[in-house]
């Protein structure tokens, strides 16, 4: 039987990829795409899948709604009007650097916004509430640590963004234990792919390289991240929604790690550009060294495995930005934070 999904943060990077993925593989389902359209949310990211207004909002449609998850009245009205069965919460302020400058925005959206969404879902009685979380809630790891974060690892966030995401996750679990709201959570590693706003490192490096501009590498060039193509992430969420156990958390990680210099070198080689474009900038405050997720639970319980190999995924991602300058060119300078601004005193 067709479902109706409320996808929040639907005009962002991962959210828009998820809407496109779900609409492709579940064409009978109705999707209500909610987004506040902050600087990194772009309605244009969904234009190829949105249903024209004259065609209505029935089965198989994708309807865009401009709104904020902190607006309880709006959220509850959407849940009732569209008879939403499933909420998938991508909505979040997510840029670590901006969180250092505007921490209040992050706690407001990522904690209180999530709680508002949960309360609306509880009041209306949705069948599933799925929370998109991050590896960063666990804090960082030593570069030579042989282990990985598991679903039982303690939350030890070190930045305002990390802490705000952790607070949202705690609210989700509280609504499960206190009110029996049927929830699931996925913690993902660093995503990459098309439609990622060019403040994040891979599109930042690609777009700067295409313009012949320096690639700003943090001084701790050997800090590593685990990289996951956004389509593999969408597949994992699909499996959790279909077969995941209520109340459970699942890690979504590729196991593939690369440091910032490797990312820069990969992009420069693919574009045929010189190493001289690399430049070193000061580390941002509380710059985590490394994250790595143990995704055994997702792989063994639900049969998930990444399908896009890192080299192929990077090549296709670089090609997408090279071929879609009309998408990213208007966004240059729109990010409210500079990655070279960390040398001065902090207050």
DSSP letter for 282, please: P
Q: Which pLDDT belongs to residue 222?
A: 82
* pLDDT tens string 204-213: 999 999 999 9
Q: Which pLDDT belongs to residue 331?
A: 95
Tell me the DSSP string of 53-93. GGG-SSTT-EEEEE--TT-HHHHHHHHHHTT--EEEE----
Q: Which pLDDT belongs to residue 258?
A: 96
Q: Which pLDDT belongs to residue 285?
A: 66
Q: Which pLDDT belongs to residue 339?
A: 57
Domain ranges in the chain? 4-196+229-255+287-308
Stretches in the chain below the pLDDT threshold 50: 342-347
* pLDDT tens string 57-92: 999 999 999 999 999 999 999 999 999 999 999 999
* pLDDT tens string 302-337: 999 999 999 999 999 999 999 999 999 999 988 776
Q: Which pLDDT belongs to residue 342?
A: 47
Measure the CA–CA gap between 88 and 159, rounded to whole angstroms.
24
**Those residues with Cβ within 8 angstroms of residue 256's Cβ, 6 or more apart along the chain or in another chain:** 226, 227, 228, 306, 310
Q: Which pLDDT belongs to residue 100?
A: 85
**Those residues with Cβ within 8 angstroms of residue 332's Cβ, 6 or more apart along the chain or in another chain:** 198, 207, 211
The topology (CATH level 3) of 4-196+229-255+287-308 is: Rossmann fold (3.40.50)
């Amino acid at each position: 039987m067709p479902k109706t999904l409320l996808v929040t943060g639907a005009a962002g990077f991962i959210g828009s990829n998820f809407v496109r993925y779900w609409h492709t593989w579940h064409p009978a389902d109705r999707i209500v795409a909610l987004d506040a359209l902050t600087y990194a949310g772009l309605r244009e990211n969904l234009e190829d899948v949105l249903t024209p207004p004259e065609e209505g909002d029935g089965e198989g449609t994708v309807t865009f709604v401009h709104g904020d998850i902190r607006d309880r009245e709006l959220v509850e009205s959407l849940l009732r009007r569209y008879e939403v069965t499933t909420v998938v919460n991508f909505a979040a302020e997510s840029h670590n650097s901006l969180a250092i400058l505007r921490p209040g925005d992050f706690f407001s959206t990522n904690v209180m916004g999530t709680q508002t969404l949960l309360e609306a879902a509880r009041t209306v009685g949705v069948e599933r509430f799925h929370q998109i979380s991050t590896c960063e809630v666990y804090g960082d790891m030593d570069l030579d640590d042989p282990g990985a974060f598991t679903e039982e690892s303690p939350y030890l966030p070190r930045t305002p963004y990390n802490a705000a995401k952790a607070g949202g996750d705690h609210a989700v679990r509280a609504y499960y234990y206190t009110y029996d709201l049927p929830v699931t959570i996925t913690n993902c590693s660093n995503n990459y792919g098309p439609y990622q706003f060019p403040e994040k490192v891979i599109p930042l490096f690609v777009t700067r390289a295409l313009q012949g501009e320096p690639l700003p590498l943090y001084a701790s060039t050997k800090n590593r991240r685990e990289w996951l193509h956004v389509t593999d992430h969408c597949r994992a969420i699909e499996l959790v929604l279909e077969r995941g156990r209520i109340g459970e958390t699942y890690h979504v990680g590729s196991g593939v790690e690369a440091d910032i210099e490797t990312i820069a070198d990969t992009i420069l080689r693919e574009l045929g550009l010189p190493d001289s474009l690399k430049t070193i900038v000061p580390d941002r405050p509380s710059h985590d060294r490394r994250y790595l997720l143990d995704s055994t639970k997702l792989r063994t319980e639900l049969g998930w495995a990444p399908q896009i190999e890192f080299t192929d995924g990077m090549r296709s991602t670089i090609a997408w930005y090279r071929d879609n300058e009309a998408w990213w060119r208007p966004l240059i300078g729109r990010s409210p934070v500079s990655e070279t601004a960390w040398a001065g005193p902090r207050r």
